[in-house]
């Protein structure tokens, strides 16, 4: 008897390589799965750098915070407008103050910047109340400053679209940030939670990779870390040899 697993693998392979409409739909589904399960955001308010990196086709969104805004030297609304004009589909915009101030500002931003706006609130009782209210209006909310699975549970109960655990800052405080990501992912998996994990405060490529490995749906990082994702010393070394060989081939064919 044919092993059903092998039979199903063969069917999948056939659909992947065939040219039918069914095969096309399967390829679209796989591409969509990859896009939604491994999204990359840039963690910066520097619109010039973001614009340069958009050309790579790898960037799915941007996260900002008040510190990054101060660094940019621009007013937040101007930064958001530039990003919307570039076509960024998902921009985290942080709000502050008391609950009423946060909700008012969140609604104003969502009104002004439409579908691109994700309102970022802190993981506090006020922030989570605001999260719940904004979610009722179908506004995306990113609950930030998450340092434990317990906080991520409360954020999920508040209908957060994203939770942002801060990996680097946990590591700074002798707690394994990636393990917190793993715990959140496991709780969300077991309880079938739809809130997505947006791993933040990532300062090196290794942690970016491990964040996905541990269950993050999205990673956000400074542009300098994103640039390093392309790099490997063996790629450079291999490329140097291949380029030399290509020159040799070109010289041989022209002589
Ligand atoms: O997205 C949060 C991030 O900006 C914080 O990063 O390096 O200041 O902990 P870091």
Query: Is residue 203 within 6 Å of ligand 1 at its C-beta?
Result: yes
Atom number, ligand 1, closest to the C-alpha of residue 203: 7
Query: Above 90 in pLDDT, residue 14?
Result: no
How many of the other CB atoms lie within 10 Å of CB of 95?
23
User: Measured from the CB, is residue 122 less than 6 Å from ligand 1?
Assistant: no
Residue pLDDT, tens place only, 164-181 = 999 999 999 999 999 999
| CA distances in angstroms from 162 to 39, 71, 100, 119, 195, listed in the order given | 12, 24, 21, 10, 5
Q: What is the pLDDT of residues 57-78, one digit of tens each?
A: 999 999 999 999 999 999 999 9
Active site residues: 120
156 CA to centre of ligand 1 in angstroms: 21
Q: How far is the CA of 166 from the centre of ligand 1 (A)?
A: 7
Among candidate residues 154, 159, 123, 122, the one with its CA nearest the CA of residue 139: 159
Nearest residue CA, atom 4 of ligand 1? 201
Residue with CA at minimum distance from ligand 1 atom 10: 201
Mutate to test the pocket of ligand 1, among 166, 199, 203, 207 (most ligand atoms within 8 A of CB): 166
Ligand 1 atom with least separation from CA of 222: 4
Nearest Cα to 93, choosing from 134, 147, 39, 53?
134
138 Cα to the center of ligand 1, angstroms:
27
pLDDT score, position 26: 72
Q: Could you read off the pLDDT of 26-45 as tens digits, one per residue?
A: 776 665 655 567 999 999 99
C-alpha 224 to ligand 1 mean position (Å): 13
Domains of the chain by start residue, with CATH: 33-246 (3.20.20.70)
Q: Tokens 């999260």 belong to which residue? A: 131
Terminal-residue alpha carbon distance, the chain: 61
Q: If you measure from the C-alpha of residue 10 to the centroid of ligand 1, how many angstroms do you get, rounded to a whole number? A: 45
- Residue 74 Cβ inside 6 Å of ligand 1? The answer reads no
pLDDT digits over 110-123, tens only? 999 999 999 999 99
218 lines ligand 1 (CB under 6 A): no
**Binning pLDDT at 50, 70 and 90, where does residue 1 land?**
very low
């Amino acid at each position: 008897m044919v092993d059903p697993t092998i039979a199903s693998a063969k069917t999948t392979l056939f659909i992947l390589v065939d040219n039918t409409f069914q095969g096309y739909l399967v390829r679209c589904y796989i591409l969509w799965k990859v896009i939604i399960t491994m999204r990359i955001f840039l963690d910066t308010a520097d619109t010039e750098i973001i614009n340069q990196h958009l050309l790579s086709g790898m960037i799915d969104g941007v996260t900002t915070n008040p510190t990054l805004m101060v660094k940019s030297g621009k007013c937040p609304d101007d930064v958001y407008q530039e990003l919307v004009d570039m076509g960024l589909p998902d921009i985290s915009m942080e709000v502050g103050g008391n609950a009423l101030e946060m909700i008012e500002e969140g609604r104003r931003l969502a009104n002004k910047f439409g579908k691109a706006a994700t309102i970022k609130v802190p993981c506090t009782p006020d922030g989570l109340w605001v999260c719940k209210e904004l979610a009722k209006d179908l506004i995306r909310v990113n609950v930030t400053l998450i340092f434990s699975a317990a906080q991520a549970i409360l954020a999920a109960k508040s209908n957060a679209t994203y939770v942002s655990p801060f990996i680097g800052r946990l590591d700074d405080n002798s707690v394994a940030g990636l393990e917190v990501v793993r715990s959140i992912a496991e709780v969300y998996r077991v309880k079938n939670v739809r809130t997505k994990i947006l791993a933040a405060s990532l300062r090196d490529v290794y942690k970016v990779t491990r964040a996905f490995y541990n269950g993050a749906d999205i990673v956000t990082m400074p542009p300098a870390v994103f640039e390093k994702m392309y790099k490997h010393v063996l790629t450079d070394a291999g490329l140097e040899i291949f380029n030399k060989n290509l020159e040799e081939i070109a010289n041989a064919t022209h002589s």
